Amino acid sequence: GENVEQHPSTLSVQEGDSAVIKCTYSDSASNYFPWYKQELGKRPQLIIDIRSNVGEKKDQRIAVTLNKTAKHFSLHITETQPEDSAVYFCAAPYTGFQKLVFGTGTRLLVSP
């Protein structure tokens, strides 16, 4: 079916540690994988995305890796800061790329 599995559902780290969130998708035709961050009481916003022609993409402290063979992709946050605390959603496109299916979200808590 069209689903995206996301783990873990909650993640607590100390400031300065790294955080990793993993997602698995089911449609082998999917070739675009965005990550959204939703701070408490705010709208989700795109923080990084990756297309299937690359295996890794970095943007400062954030990186995303993609393994098309295994159909999973991961978000890596290094040197975490309290302002990284939020809910993170992964997503993948289905049905001819007309709709985006989201994972169930990971609540990241970074403690000072």
Partner 1 sequence: DGGITQSPKYLFRKEGQNVTLSCEQNLNHDAMYWYRQDPGQGLRLIYYSQIVNDFQKGDIAEGYSVSREKKESFPLTVTSAQKNPTAFYLCASSIAGVYTGELFFGEGSRLTVL
Contacts with partner 1 by CB under 8 A lie at 2, 6, 9, 31-32, 34, 36, 42-46, 49, 89, 93, 97-105
Helices (H) and strands (E) in the chain, counts: 0, 11
Q: Considering beta carbons, is residue 12 or 45 the nearer one to partner 1?
A: 45
- Cβ burial 17-56 (10 Å sphere, 16+ → b, else e): eebbbbbbbebeebeebbbbbeeeeeebeebbebeeeeee
Looking at the Cβ atoms of 3 and 78, the one nearer to partner 1 is 3
Nearer to partner 1, 69 or 98 (CB): 98
Q: In whole angstroms, how close is the CB of 21 to partner 1 at the nearest point?
A: 13
